[in-house]
Amino acid sequence: MKKFIFIAIITLGVNFSACQKEKEIFPNQSEMTTTPPPDQGDTIAGEPSSTGNPKAAFILNATSASQIPSMYFYSGSCYKNKYTHVKQYSGECSWTSYVLCAGAIVNGNFGSYVYTVNHPAITSVKNWCRSSYIERLRDYANQMDGPYFGNVYLSKEYKTSTGRFNTIKQMLNHLYVYQKPFIAIITNNGIGHYVVVWDIDWKCGGTGSTVYYTDPLDYPASSFYSQRQGMNMTTFLDKMGPLNNYVSKYCALFLK
């Protein structure tokens, strides 16, 4: 698929960590969670199609946030329309987020009932993985769900300004090229927590950008856009930061 550029960062590995450089990229943003804008649909006015440009070089080759123009990076409506939300059981955010994300992608591509999204399915992934490490989710995606995905990519970047910006570019590039949601890890109450990232409202330079995601801690809502939350991008990236002793890298899992 394809996507436009937005900036959302993911942090994980064995856990998560925060970095500091993006303060230059996203200076002094508010910690307040924002209200998501109306549905933007599947087209962005003035933005060229990414067809014929699968690598979205203008994103990956950027050396500063100011080189990435303001855009709304989004997942396709076919995935949002097929999203089924299940509230996680205690301590099961990793496997739950995987099933929520994989289910939306597979059912969006192949049909509503191809990929089951419920607690038994989550338990099955949990039993196979036997740990919550993001590497195990990657392995499960490759070995058990491989026929559904053309590629599975795990991005892990060190807690440096370079690592932070590389994570941002990977996130924006994924949304721009593939238009699919992905899994990211932030911290919640001092521990690592997996969420599904759907859209990034990117502002050139980073300041004022917003990440939109669904959280497995939430109860099911009446609609996708009621389920989705918005968070200031700097805050989101910081939550991927060193808020506990286990966070060592920024991490995101992309199911393509």
pLDDT digit string, tens, across residues 228-241: 999 999 999 988 86
Comparing CA positions, the residue from 137, 122, 111, 115 lying closest to residue 87 is 122
Which CATH number fits the domain 22-29+53-255, given the four candidates 1.10.10.60, 3.90.740.10, 3.90.226.10, 3.90.70.30?
A: 3.90.70.30
Name the burial class of residue 10, with classes exposed (0-12), middle (13-18) and buried (19+) by CB atoms within 10 angstroms of its CB: buried
Check whether 51 has a pLDDT greater than 70.
no
Comparing CA positions, the residue from 213, 230, 251, 232 lying closest to residue 100 is 213
**What is the amino acid identity at position 147?**
P
Rounded-to-integer distance, Cα 106 and Cα 108, Å: 5
Check whether 23 has a pLDDT greater than 70.
no
Rounded-to-integer distance, Cα 26 and Cα 231, Å: 13
Tell me the pLDDT of the chain averaged across its residues: 82
Q: What is the mean pLDDT of residues 145-153?
A: 95
Query: Would you tell me the crossing angle of helices 119-129 and 134-143 to the nearest 10 degrees?
Result: 110
**What is the amino acid identity at position 145?**
D
**In this predicted model, what pLDDT tens digit does every residue of 200-235 receive, in sequence order?**
999 999 999 999 999 999 999 999 999 999 999 999
Q: In the structure encoding, which two tokens stand for residue 4, read together?
A: 């436009």
Please tell me the predicted confidence (pLDDT) of residue 245.
52
Share of the chain above pLDDT 70, in %: 76
Q: What is the mean pLDDT of residues 167-196?
A: 94
Rounded-to-integer distance, Cα 91 and Cα 163, Å: 28
- Count other Cβ atoms within 10 Å, centred on residue 50: 20
Please tell me the predicted confidence (pLDDT) of residue 87.
98
Q: Which residues contact 168 (CB under 8 A, 6 or more apart)?
A: 7, 8, 9, 22, 25, 65, 206, 237
The band of 246, judged by pLDDT with boundaries at 50, 70 and 90, is low
Which has the higher per-residue pLDDT, 41 or 178?
Answer: 178
Rounded-to-integer distance, Cα 192 and Cα 184, Å: 10
- Count other Cβ atoms within 10 Å, centred on residue 93: 21
Please answer whether residues 83 and 212 qualify as being in contact, where contact means their C-beta atoms are separated by less than 8 angstroms.
no
Please tell me the predicted confidence (pLDDT) of residue 34.
37
Rg (CA), the chain: 16
